[in-house]
Amino acid sequence: MDAEAFRVQAHQVVDWIADYLASVGDRAVFPDIEPGWLRSRLPAHPPAEPESMDAVLTDFRELVVPAITHWNHPSFHAYFANSASGPGILGEMLAAALNANAMVWRASPAGTELEEVAVDWLREIVGLPPVFAGVINDTASTSTLVALAAAREAGALGDRPGRIYASVEAHSSVQKAGMVLGLGRDGVQAIPTDAEWRMQPQALADHVRADREAGVLPLAVVATLGTTSTTSVDPVAEIAEIAAAEQMWLHVDAAYAGPAAVLPELARHFVGWERADSIVVNPHKWLFTPMDCSVLFFRDPDRIRAAFSLTPEYLKTPEEGQGTNLMDYGVALGRRFRALKLWMVIRAFGVSGIEARIREHCRLARLFASWVADAPGWEVSAPVPFASVLFRWTGRGEDAASIDAANHAVLEGLNRSGTAFLSHTVLEGRTVLKLSVGNLRTTEADLARTWTALRDHAARP
Amino acid sequence: MDAEAFRVQAHQVVDWIADYLASVGDRAVFPDIEPGWLRSRLPAHPPAEPESMDAVLTDFRELVVPAITHWNHPSFHAYFANSASGPGILGEMLAAALNANAMVWRASPAGTELEEVAVDWLREIVGLPPVFAGVINDTASTSTLVALAAAREAGALGDRPGRIYASVEAHSSVQKAGMVLGLGRDGVQAIPTDAEWRMQPQALADHVRADREAGVLPLAVVATLGTTSTTSVDPVAEIAEIAAAEQMWLHVDAAYAGPAAVLPELARHFVGWERADSIVVNPHKWLFTPMDCSVLFFRDPDRIRAAFSLTPEYLKTPEEGQGTNLMDYGVALGRRFRALKLWMVIRAFGVSGIEARIREHCRLARLFASWVADAPGWEVSAPVPFASVLFRWTGRGEDAASIDAANHAVLEGLNRSGTAFLSHTVLEGRTVLKLSVGNLRTTEADLARTWTALRDHAARP
């Protein structure tokens, strides 16, 4: 495909994307298909000869898109709802064309330095002090792995068993990191939470003391600001005290809620996070940036490099000691130009625009929660510090198992209907529905339609 | 930015990209700038108010692009040269707009199943048997980490020290994986190579035996088909014998050379790789796919899942046991829709088109090597099994250190000139230049111009 053929096809693709963005709200959020639907419709073997891009794009429209769960739909509310904004998509288009790989400075001066600039801008937006530098990884799972690898390296573990602490509500990536790091499944100790799913600092202190007495080295504690199940907020200031006293690495998982630190009225949730050794904030979650873009902030770059820097001869360059070599800060050597989209998103929205959108998402979530709270037979199941609502239908007085089953039925009915797409979790053994607001296109009217649909599904026998 | 504003801007971006692709060969490959050039030209603080996309794109053209090393340039020959092809860029555009996240099947049925299809097509293209399944990761570093984490899990290490073996020429990601996995820097044993930089199987067998006697558990051996320094090919059939006898996991790093297995005339390099437990092949290296896209093939999905599967309640879905949940096969939970671009590339090129391009790249590399071999004062420093040439200027009879310095000067002079961009390595203590052919636009005329420039730089006093 030469440049002119690309031009023709790409203009058509842009029109498809613009039409898609304009009308995505008219589609079913979740395709009502069964596993295997798409695979069974595609050839088992690769084509021997080239196919026209028209044929490929026809199959894209007729086979791939009908099997898509539309994350960019205004009624996508599962997991953490997010947005691929226009500026972010433009950034991805340009990054793909440049195909820059910022493993060392000279391999991509712009890729390296724009990453430093965009990360520093994000640091300022969320109100962290300039002592924090950072890099962009693919996902929070990777960012957390990198942070905890650095924590282990800093801990000078030797032959002792090491342990990482996180609340029972912490993200599964913490436990996965423990497995990858070779700490074993016992390497991550779950700390109980209080009535609002926040880590209990005293329980943390007790576990750490008992572990020290047993010869286990406390390596790190992960405080979560916006947990995945309930968006609860660990008391990071108190946890920071314990981490300092115990010389543990403090990693803050603000992958979801981090961008909300831009709002003065939510600053109370973040008091103390500036004492962390590392913090993860995902622009691909709640900062309108397409997948994938996870920023890992860290206080001491040397400690990250200590865990990851290895420079073989074929990657040594004349710029040693001058330009940053991003490969030294993580697992991946190759690094796509993720900074470009983040830089474009921040510029296109401005700090005021980011504030306005996040504030509106929080307002919409509180509004939805108020509808639920006022409706007979429904309850809000957890506080709403950010823009996610945990709630459930309490049914018609049946037993707990029936109510759980009814909530699953409501969820499945709604999701299969295509009207909206939600997820669920379990709190204290009970099934709870989750509605996360994070898409730029979500309006009050969209939410009202979803709420009506939820009540309709609940009313079915 | 609403859909219509996006449409306007995106059409302009497409025209910029098409112009860029048509004329990238006229640009300096490497920008002759010093570290800090871009950063010093960008505001230290994020904009308080939204900026117009016109302003953002102006800065992109006037500040970002002038600081880009053009990986998509026909005279980019450093590291492993690659291509963001037109179909691949279109795939990235669509993936960004859909913003699909295939962590579990229902989160993206198309993202999940198209990944299965594209990976299976690639498996067939490179001639691996159907017993291999696979997933797409960001980079080979991650794929190798995942494979070696599975190897450790399968090894039932317990409290014994474990060890991984790879040749002294293996990629740094193997050692990095050993560090991350907590095996320590001693956890990866470098095995000597022969005169053509291929792992010596007898040396591997000796190390494994000695380690067993010392109570160290041999976990895995990494065989590299196309090493990063010289593109040497480890004798994987012999290594597979040893791995089988010693019950070690065999991981094959074919990140670079894997796509060349499509060529019958190169099949001899891959004999035995089908006995591996895991194989990494990077379409973003030599299969015309934009960064990032690394395929990890594995023989036994259960063994990968054993190392990575953790399903918290909020990710349980009604499809358990039916649709694949890709999050169970690696570090990252979030997974961007990388399969789309790979599927589009394979369809647009067809197997015959892939063969033709890779064959041409190999021909061009051999042609360049023949020019070097025939030129007085120059030497080809390693065999050319694929499309990368290791060579050096042997100078005017000076001592070794002067010749090394002269080669560095030639490299730096050429790179700073912008004519072409090469990298270097060190073989047996001597500086060697590397020219890798992997861009779809590279012609014989481009190579001839680079060769002339190299000789001009070498002729300078």
Residue B112 covered by a domain: yes
Q: Do A49 and B10 touch (CB under 8 A)?
A: no
Mean pLDDT of B150-155: 89
Q: H/E element holding A162?
A: strand A162-167
* Smallest Cα distance from A44 to chain B, Å: 7
- Same domain assignment for residues B182 and B158: yes
| CA–CA distance, B369 with B389 (Å, rounded to integer) | 6
Q: Do B291 and A319 touch (CB under 8 A)?
A: no
Final residue of a domain: which of B306, B336, B366? Answer: B336
Say which amino acid occupies A188.
V
Share of chain A above pLDDT 70, in %: 100
Mean pLDDT of B56-75: 98
Share of chain B above pLDDT 70, in %: 100
Q: Do A172 and B310 touch (CB under 8 A)?
A: yes
Handedness of CA B412, B413, B417, B419 (dihedral sign): negative
- Same domain assignment for residues B125 and B255: yes
Q: Is the pLDDT reported for residue A279 higher than 80?
A: yes
The answer to whether residues A301 and A329 touch, using CB atoms and an 8 Å cutoff, is yes
Q: Which residues contact A104 (CB under 8 A, 6 or more apart)?
A: A112, A315, A317, A319, A323, A325, A326, A327
- Same domain assignment for residues B289 and B371: no
- Same domain assignment for residues A284 and A326: yes
Point out the residue among B5, B84, B323 whose CB comes nearest to the CB of A96.
B84
Q: Which residues contact B424 (CB under 8 A, 6 or more apart)?
A: A313, A314, B407, B408, B411, B431, B432, B433, B434
| CA–CA distance, B415 with A319 (Å, rounded to integer) | 13
Q: Maximum Cα–Cα distance for chain A, whole Å?
A: 73
- Using a CB-CB distance cutoff of 8 angstroms, which residues of chain B are in contact with residue A172? 310-312, 315, 333
With CA atoms as reference, the chain B residue closest to A408 would be B318
Strand order across the beta sheet in which A388-393 lies: A378-380, A388-393, A430-436, A423-427
- Using a CB-CB distance cutoff of 8 angstroms, which residues of chain A are in contact with residue B99? 71-72, 82-84, 290-291
Q: Do A46 and B346 touch (CB under 8 A)?
A: yes
Best interface-test mutation with B: which of A7, A70, A136, A180 has the largest number of B CBs within 10 A?
A: A180
Question: So what's the pLDDT on residue B395?
Answer: 80
- Same domain assignment for residues B277 and B370: no
| CA–CA distance, B331 with A140 (Å, rounded to integer) | 10
Among candidates B216, B258, B264, B220, which has minimal Cα distance to B240?
B220
DSSP 8-state symbol, A35: T
Which string of DSSP letters, residue by residue, matches A396-448? Answer: TS--HHHHHHHHHHHHHHHHHHTS-B-EEEEETTEEEEEEE---TT--HHHHH
Question: So what's the pLDDT on residue A398?
Answer: 80
For A72, the 3-state DSSP assignment is coil
Mean pLDDT of B368-388: 97
- Same domain assignment for residues A137 and A160: yes
Residue B416 covered by a domain: yes
Residue B242 covered by a domain: yes
- Same domain assignment for residues A302 and A195: yes
Kindly indicate the confidence band of residue B185, based on its pLDDT and cuts at 50, 70 and 90.
low
Question: So what's the pLDDT on residue A227?
Answer: 97
- For B56, phi then psi, to 5°, come to -65, -45
Point out the residue among A2, A290, A313 whose CB comes nearest to the CB of B96.
A290
Of the listed ranges A78-92, A299-313, A381-395, the least confidently predicted one is A299-313
Answer with the residue of higher pLDDT: B49 or A324.
B49
Strand-pairing partners, residue A253, are A224, A280
Final residue of a domain: which of A336, A369, A391? Answer: A336
Best interface-test mutation with B: which of A217, A308, A331, A351 has the largest number of B CBs within 10 A?
A: A331
Q: Is the pLDDT reported for residue B315 higher than 90?
A: no
Across the A:B interface, residue pairs with CB atoms under 8 Å apart total: 479
Q: Is the pLDDT reported for residue A200 higher than 70?
A: yes
Residue A254 covered by a domain: yes
Point out the residue among B7, B31, B42 whose CB comes nearest to the CB of A14.
B7
Which string of DSSP letters, residue by residue, matches A351-373? Answer: HHHHHHHHHHHHHHHHHHHHHHH
Q: Is A404 left (phi over 0), alpha (psi -120 to 50) or beta?
A: alpha
∠ CA A31-A57-A339, nearest 5°, is 85
Answer with the residue of higher pLDDT: B266 or B319.
B266
- The ipTM value here is 0.97
Q: Do A125 and B46 touch (CB under 8 A)?
A: yes
Question: Any idea what the CATH number is for the domain that residue B297 is in?
Answer: 3.40.640.10
Residue A427 tokens read as 């709190």
- Same domain assignment for residues A359 and A329: no
Task: Show the domain range for A413.
Answer: 1-30+69-84+350-461
- Same domain assignment for residues B308 and B226: yes
- Using a CB-CB distance cutoff of 8 angstroms, which residues of chain A are in contact with residue B182? 152, 181-183
Q: Which residues contact B68 (CB under 8 A, 6 or more apart)?
A: A98, A100, A108, A109, A110, A111, B31
Query: Which residue's structure tokens are 């909300």?
Result: A260
Point out the residue among B7, B21, B415 whose CB comes nearest to the CB of A15.
B7
Residue A59 covered by a domain: no
Best interface-test mutation with A: which of B69, B153, B157 has the largest number of A CBs within 10 A?
A: B69
Q: What is the pLDDT of residues A398-441, one digit of tens each?
A: 899 999 999 999 999 999 999 999 999 999 999 999 999 999 99
* Smallest Cα distance from A161 to chain B, Å: 10
| CA–CA distance, A93 with B116 (Å, rounded to integer) | 25
Mean pLDDT of A8-17: 98
Residue A95 covered by a domain: no
- In chain A, helix, strand, coil percent, each to 5? 50, 15, 35
Kindly indicate the confidence band of residue A345, based on its pLDDT and cuts at 50, 70 and 90.
very high
For B330, the 3-state DSSP assignment is coil
| CA–CA distance, A31 with B108 (Å, rounded to integer) | 9
SS (H, E, C) B247-292: CCEEEEECCCCHHHHHCHHHHHHHCCHHHCCEEEECHHHHCCCCCC
- Whole-structure pTM value: 0.97
Question: So what's the pLDDT on residue A186?
Answer: 86
The answer to whether residues B144 and B253 touch, using CB atoms and an 8 Å cutoff, is yes
Query: HSE of B272 in the Cβ direction (CA atoms, 13 Å)?
Result: 21
Q: A355-393 burial by CB neighbour count: b if 16+ within 10 A, else e?
A: bebbbbbbebbebbbebbeebeebebbbbbbbbbbbbbb
Q: Is the pLDDT reported for residue A314 higher than 90?
A: no
Say which amino acid occupies B190.
A
Point out the residue among B67, B82, B424 whose CB comes nearest to the CB of A113.
B67
Best interface-test mutation with A: which of B232, B331, B340 has the largest number of A CBs within 10 A?
A: B331
Among candidates B168, B160, B81, B176, which has minimal Cα distance to A99?
B81
- Same domain assignment for residues B315 and B450: no
Give the strand pairing for A430-436 and A188-191: unpaired
Q: What is the pLDDT of residues A120-139, one digit of tens each?
A: 999 999 999 999 999 999 99
Question: Any idea what the CATH number is for the domain that residue A455 is in?
Answer: 3.90.1150.170
Point out the residue among A38, A322, A332 whose CB comes nearest to the CB of B142.
A332
Q: Is the pLDDT reported for residue A185 higher than 70?
A: no
Residue B64 covered by a domain: no
Point out the residue among B7, B87, B318 whose CB comes nearest to the CB of A412.
B318
- For A49, phi then psi, to 5°, come to -115, 160
Query: Within 10 Å of residue A190's Cβ, how many Cβ atoms?
Result: 16
Q: What is the pLDDT of residues B404-451, one digit of tens each?
A: 999 999 999 999 999 999 999 999 999 999 999 999 999 999 999 999
Q: Tell me how far apart the terminal alpha carbons of chain A are, to the nearest angstrom.
A: 57
Mean pLDDT of B73-78: 98
Q: Do B4 and A17 touch (CB under 8 A)?
A: no
Share of chain B above pLDDT 90, in %: 88
Q: Do A19 and B6 touch (CB under 8 A)?
A: no
Average pLDDT score, chain A:
95
- The total of structural domains in chain B comes to 2
Question: So what's the pLDDT on residue B157?
Answer: 73
Share of chain A above pLDDT 90, in %: 88
Question: So what's the pLDDT on residue A161?
Answer: 87
Question: So what's the pLDDT on residue B320?
Answer: 74
Q: Do B334 and A139 touch (CB under 8 A)?
A: yes
Q: Do B140 and A334 touch (CB under 8 A)?
A: yes
The answer to whether residues A346 and B45 touch, using CB atoms and an 8 Å cutoff, is no
- Same domain assignment for residues A256 and A354: no
Residue B357 tokens read as 């391009």
Q: What is the pLDDT of residues A216-267, one digit of tens each?
A: 999 999 999 999 999 999 999 999 999 999 999 999 999 999 999 999 999 9
Q: Is the pLDDT reported for residue B241 higher than 90?
A: yes
Final residue of a domain: which of B310, B336, B362? Answer: B336
Mean pLDDT of B164-170: 97
Question: So what's the pLDDT on residue A326?
Answer: 86
Query: Which residue's structure tokens are 């001491």?
Result: A300
> How far does Cα A223 stand from its chain's mean position?
15
Q: B327-358 burial by CB neighbour count: b if 16+ within 10 A, else e?
A: bbbbbbbbbbbbbbbbbbbbbbbbbebbbebb
- Using a CB-CB distance cutoff of 8 angstroms, which residues of chain A are in contact with residue B5? 86
Residue B181 tokens read as 């996995």
Question: So what's the pLDDT on residue A154?
Answer: 85
* Smallest Cα distance from A357 to chain B, Å: 12
> How far does Cα A117 stand from its chain's mean position?
21
Q: Tell me how far apart the terminal alpha carbons of chain B are, to the nearest angstrom.
A: 57
Distances (CA, A) of B235 to A127, A434, A455, B204: 55, 54, 65, 11
Residue A282 covered by a domain: yes
Q: What is the pLDDT of residues A89-126, one digit of tens each?
A: 999 999 999 999 998 999 999 999 999 999 999 999 99
- Same domain assignment for residues A190 and A329: yes
| CA–CA distance, A333 with B137 (Å, rounded to integer) | 13
Which string of DSSP letters, residue by residue, matches A7-26? Answer: HHHHHHHHHHHHHHHHHGGG
| CA–CA distance, A168 with B370 (Å, rounded to integer) | 64
Q: Is the pLDDT reported for residue A360 higher than 90?
A: yes
Question: So what's the pLDDT on residue B307?
Answer: 87
